[in-house]
Structure 1
Amino acid sequence: MLLRGFTPVRTVPSRALFVQTSRCTRLREGLQWGRFAAAAAAAATRGTFWYGERTRRVVWRLCGQTSDQVRAAEPQQHLEKQPSGPSWVFRVYLAPELRAALRVASSERKGRVFVPGAEPKLDELHAVIRERFVALKKLHGTPLRVVLVSGKPDSNAVIDSDARLKETSQMQVPLYLRFDPQLDPSLIEQFRQRPRGIRFGGTTLQTRQLPPFYPMNKSSVLTDDIQMLSFYRFVSISEPEELASRLRFYLKPLAVRGRIYIATEGVNAQVAVPVSSLDAFQQLFAPDAPHLTELAGIYLNMDPYRLSAAQFAEQPPFRNLHIRCRRKIVADGLKEPLDLAQVGRELSPAEWQKALEDPHAILLDVRNDYETQLGTFQSAGDARPLNTRTYRETWKALEERLANEPRDRRVLTFCTGGIRCVKAAAYLQSRLGFQRVERLGGGIVSYAAEAKRHGWEPKFKGSVYVFDERLKAPVTNDVLSRCETCGGPTQDILHCAHVPCHRRLIQCPNCRHRLSGCCSSECQRGLELALASATNELHWYTQSMNRTAPWGTEASILKELAAETYRSFPQAAHMMSGPVQGALLQAVARLSRAQRVLEIGTFTGYATLCFAGAMGPNNVNQVVTVERDPESADIAEHFFQRATEGMAPIRLYRGAALDVLQLLWEHEEPPFDLIYLDADKRQYIAYYEFILERRLLAPHGALLVDNVLFRPLYGKQRHADLEDVELGDRAERIALRSTKLMQAVHEFNKHVQEDARVTQVILPIRDGVSIIQWSKP
């Protein structure tokens, strides 16, 4: 395993265990938790650790946890392949200046790299680094050079030989890639500030401009009818972040909403396009269009029915445009990539209509069981739904269903939009050896549109499950599915109303009413408890009697900030502190006579302004705040610049919280009297340990931690692993994320409870606020 500030420890063959000797409590990114407990227990009994007494206690405490407990805390990071046999592992960071110049996403700023062999080799390390950090390809053909250093980004310890590399690994320090300090700073700045549409040193490409065919009047999803459509393409994309930037630039002016996933293997999207923008949208993806060359000529899979503006407003399938870079556009769970050159023969809807009449063909529905229950194709052949719960189960199901079938038998596959069939066909042809694999091009969506256009009698009966807020779209009026609760016929699909569960289920209106929209009486009870805590009379009485707003009455600038937050982040505005919590934070700042305040997690700055408003002779005179999201930071900075009268100065840092904390510590700034932690819950323990170990909290100071009672856990959890969740299944992802955050917060609370260095009291305000102080100042 790898911890920040590590030493490679040679242990048993084919297994290397990495343990930090002085900071073992900061177990965080990169840990493979399930394997760690077993390996740590085995290695400790053989005496292969290098550790002190403190490390021993932490390791055995981890080993005592159950696999389910530790698996819930495992972060979803890039999974680097570890070579078999002895190897050296290094944690490599991109220095901040290099990250900024290359426009690297924060999730790509570091990574583990494995150097095989008995001794570390510098040239092999460089080769692995170039493969691991794709963004470094942007430096090819430029005069800019990078160097490898150890310890800190500005270190003089340049790694220029195998001996120096081995020496560095034994010193338990991380490695950093940075620009060569001998380079002219103006050259680096020129590279960093270059327009996104121009290559460094080139003159052929022009700065991005909107195409002339864009509509003159701004499109609107509020007044236009909406065309739902999807598209995908498996194509090699060397810089997914750069393509994501271009897509945002071209699609936002067209008022497009939806989700687009980009990976090195291709693009997958479901979007809602206003009819007034549809022509421009289609021209943007035309075969000869120069704007998005990777997607030029892509097939746009149009839904057969458009939504009116009123229908869209009543139940919007998508509320915003989300473009995300991922490891895969369809999470398949396979260790080795499929051969996408062998994907069978694609059939048009007309060819598919005839193919269904073949009595000797095998018809495979590669969708999941809840999708098949809503509707499927009627075939003269052998129809075999796989009945999987997640797409990851597809491969085992295919092997079991087709184990005894001759490899020359005709196999027909279909799915919702066609993308899952591509990988399924590749598996059937390249892995299982089937010779006659055919798939429905564009999936059920394309077939339904073509059947409507030509007036066919659809051979697909029922409804098709769609990956947006609608959940289903009817193709015919046939009712094939049955209520999971009572067994009666119904086509209603929903998510359990109890948020910690939130699983998909098919349920009739009567059962939905009887169970309050929950999947079981267990979840219904959990929902009642959650609602009771928010609606009891005492709660509302205290809400009405408190004079909660900072400065006596809520300042106009806070009202404006709240309104802007709801406009800019309608789905995340609940994260804003608000008047009640803002008043509490300001009261604590005044009661503790805090002069220096540190806030980790600015969001749009509501709590920051509350702290700054506590300024007085013995109160706050400086607020330091940290935010990593650029859009949130822009809004916060705008309001900070406006709010100057009667307020303490605010210093805003942009970037990852741990990087900023490291910077503050290295600059030896005085400790803070009050620290407010409201950032990534999964990193709470890492932030907490850094603050305490580096003594960033003053002896008589207080550490306030928000959301420590985040969504109490009721009922049984029914979630697959994150990688099992289908593309676009937003509700399932939200539920899974809530579960992981609840687990992370619970682990943090236990961690603090067991820490003899501090005392803790939890206040049940909103999602809970914990007040932590040194037990011995």
Structure 2
Amino acid sequence: MTASSAQPLTVAALYRFTHFEDCARLQVPLQKVCRDKGVKGTLLLAPEGINGTIAGTPEDIDAVLAHIRALPGCADLDIKLSSAATMPFHRMKVRIKREIVTMGEPDIDPRASVGTYVEPHDWNALIADPDTIVIDTRNDYEVAVGTFAGAIDPKTPSFRDFPAWFRNERERLLGEGKPPRVAMFCTGGIRCEKSTAFLKQEGVDEVYHLKGGILKYLETVPETESMWQGECFVFDQRVTIGHGLAQGTHTLCHACRRPVRADDLAAPHYEEGVSCPACYPERTDSQRASYRERHRQERLAAERGEAHVGAVHHERDDARDG
């Protein structure tokens, strides 16, 4: 790392839909510049573009972002910056995927058609309009932490489930006659690129999405004017953030990767590194024993100043956005 590790770290959430001919050719140089600069996190490469979140010193993040902007079609990279007091990732991963955010609809191309972008300072007026229905496109465990007032929760465990949910609920949502406007949002904007493209392909004309996602809204809209309720789940060790992108109050269950509220830490089924009230019924005693041993090994490694191998599996990369 080229700067003092004592200085605040920059966290960059980024994505760009573009066409990559050969992801494997891009992977190794990108991994190398990240490692050379001491930057950690996850970057996903797919034929449709790049997506990820990385952290490092401001200078080192700038160097990695310069490398990414030089990739084909990435000059106008979408980036949201925040800060962290400590490194929120265990290691650096550059992975090749079929999609940079998995929806499972091969004909969707956000480069061809997406919804209308709405700036954060115009979002309140749109979602307060009674002729607008507001849909949270995130996963159920994310919505449980916080969402916009009046938003519809699809209760989907994965973004891959969103198309089926909409097709099943379309008649109820849109009704007969002139359909309402549809406004959608997600954490950083990338899932809305696909969800709005999907709705337009399904024949919905008036589709809008929050530009920059919840992260940009919380960064730029004053809390006194905000329609956001709760906190926002993020896919790193910060777990949740609030207005002004300040650190939230949730911790992470390292068994199921769901956020855990502060008052759940005293619940009978919460055990650090082993279970939380949400996942306890989903796991067996044998699985919890395995998690317990892994957590013990991680504590021992931390006492020795080492990173236990089990820790590298704790970071999601399925919707790093997301």
Range into which the TM-score falls when normalised by the shorter chain: 0.7 to 0.9
Shift of 1:351: 2.2
1:461–1:476 contact (8 Å) kept in structure 2: no
CA contact (8 A) 2:12 2:61 kept: no
- The equivalent residue for 2:84 is 307
Tell me, yes or no, if the aligned pair for 2:220 and 2:244 is still in contact at 8 Å. no
Task: Give the counterpart of 1:387 among 155, 159, 165.
Answer: 155
2:138 corresponds to: 367
Looking at CA atoms only, which structure, 1 or 2, has the larger radius of gyration? 1
Which consecutive aligned stretches of 4+ in structure 1 deviate over 6 angstroms post-superposition? 531-534
**Pick from 56, 60, 66: which aligns with 1:273?**
56
Q: Is the 8 A contact 1:466 1:473 kept in 2?
A: yes
Distance 1:281 1:530 in 2: 37
Structure 1 residues 201-223: Cα deviation after superposition (integer angstroms, max 9, x where no partner): xxxxxxxxxxxxxxxx8235x32
| Aligned equivalent of 1:260, options 25, 37, 43 | 43
Q: Distance in 2 between matches of 1:294 and 1:247?
A: 15
Distance in structure 2 (CA, Å) of the matches to 1:296 and 1:280: 14
TM-score by length of 1: 0.35
Give the Cα separation in 1 of the matches to 2:282 and 2:204.
46
The answer to whether residue 266 in structure 2 is matched with residue 510 in structure 1 is yes
**CA offsets, 1:234-275, max 9 Å, x none?**
111001112222322433333221100001011111111312
Amino acid at match of 1:343: V
In structure 2, the residue matched to 1:218 is 2
The aligned residue for residue 337 of structure 1 is 107
User: Is 2:25 the partner of 1:242?
Assistant: yes
CA distance in 2, matches of 1:514, 1:280: 41
Q: Tell me, yes or no, if the aligned pair for 2:109 and 2:197 is still in contact at 8 Å.
A: yes
Equivalent positions of 1:2-401 (< 5 A) are 218-220=2-4, 222-281=5-64, 283-284=66-67, 291-303=70-82, 306-308=83-85, 312=86, 316-334=87-105, 336-340=106-110, 341-379=112-150, 383-401=151-169
Instruction: Determine if contact 1:492/1:509 at 8 Å carries over to the other structure.
Output: no
Aligned-pair distance for 1:728?
A: 3.7
Q: In structure 2, how many angstroms separate the alpha carbons of the residues matched to 1:256 and 1:513?
A: 36
> Given the superposition, is the C-alpha separation of residues 392 and 725 from structure 1 closer, same or farther in structure 2, using an over 3 Å criterion?
farther
Query: Which of 221, 227, 239 is residue 451 of structure 1 equivalent to?
Result: 221
**C-alpha distance in 1, partners of 2:9/2:34?**
15
2:30·2:67 contact (CA, 8 Å) conserved in 1? no
The verdict on how the C-alpha distance between 1:493 and 1:251 changes in structure 2, with shifts beyond 3 A counting, is: closer
Q: Cα distance 1:277–1:389, how it changes in 2: closer, same or farther (>3 A)?
A: same
Which amino acid in 1 is paired with 2:241? A
Indicate conservation of the 8 Å contact 1:285/1:297, yes or no: no
Q: CA deviation at 1:525?
A: 3.9
Alpha-carbon distance, 1:302 to partner: 1.6
Go from structure 1 to structure 2 and tell me whether the alpha carbon gap of 1:571 and 1:329 turns closer, same or farther (over 3 Å shift): farther
CA distance 1:269–1:523, change in 2 (3 Å) = closer
Contact 2:18 2:72 in 1 (8 A): no
Q: What are the Cα deviations for residues 178-209 of structure 1, in whole angstroms up to 9, with x where unaligned?
A: xxxxxxxxxxxxxxxxxxxxxxxxxxxxxxxx
Shift of 1:513: 6.7
Give the 3-state SS of the residue equivalent to 1:384 in structure 2.
coil
Q: TM-score, normalised by structure 2?
A: 0.79
Cα separation, partners in 2 of 1:361 and 1:514, compared to 1, 3 Å: closer
Pick closer, same or farther for the CA change 1:263–1:529 going to 2, 3 Å: closer
Residue 727 of structure 1 and its aligned partner are, at CA, apart by 2.1
The whole-number CA distance in structure 1 between the counterparts of 2:142 and 2:12 is 19
Q: Which has the higher contact order (CA 8 A, sep 6+)?
A: 2
1:531 to 1:300, Cα distance in 2 relative to 1, 3 A: closer
Q: Secondary structure at the match of 1:396?
A: helix
C-alpha distance after superposition, 1:41-72 (max 9, x if no partner): xxxxxxxxxxxxxxxxxxxxxxxxxxxxxxxx
Letter of the 1:459 partner, please give it. M
- 2-side partners of 1:526 and 1:219: how far apart? 45
Whole-Å separation in 1 of the counterparts to 2:88 and 2:156: 25
Q: What's the CA shift for 1:461?
A: 1.5
Q: CA RMSD in A?
A: 3.4
Count of residues in Structure 1 that have an aligned counterpart in Structure 2: 295
Which of 297, 305, 309 is equivalent to 1:572?
309
Q: What SS does the aligned partner of 1:435 have?
A: coil
Name the CA distance, whole Å, in 1 between partners of 2:310 and 2:249: 33
SS in 1 for 2:43: strand
Q: Distance in 1 between matches of 2:35 and 2:218?
A: 29
Q: 1:233, CA displacement in angstroms? A: 1.0
- Residues 218 and 253 of structure 1 are in contact (CA less than 8 Å); yes or no, is this contact kept in structure 2? no
SS of alignment partner, residue 168 of structure 2: helix
- Distance, in Å, in 2 between the alignment partners of 1:448 and 1:279 is 23
Aligned amino acid, residue 166 of structure 2: L
With over 3 angstroms needed to count, the CA separation of the structure-2 counterparts of 1:529 and 1:370, relative to structure 1, is closer
Q: Give the letter for the 1:254 counterpart.
A: K
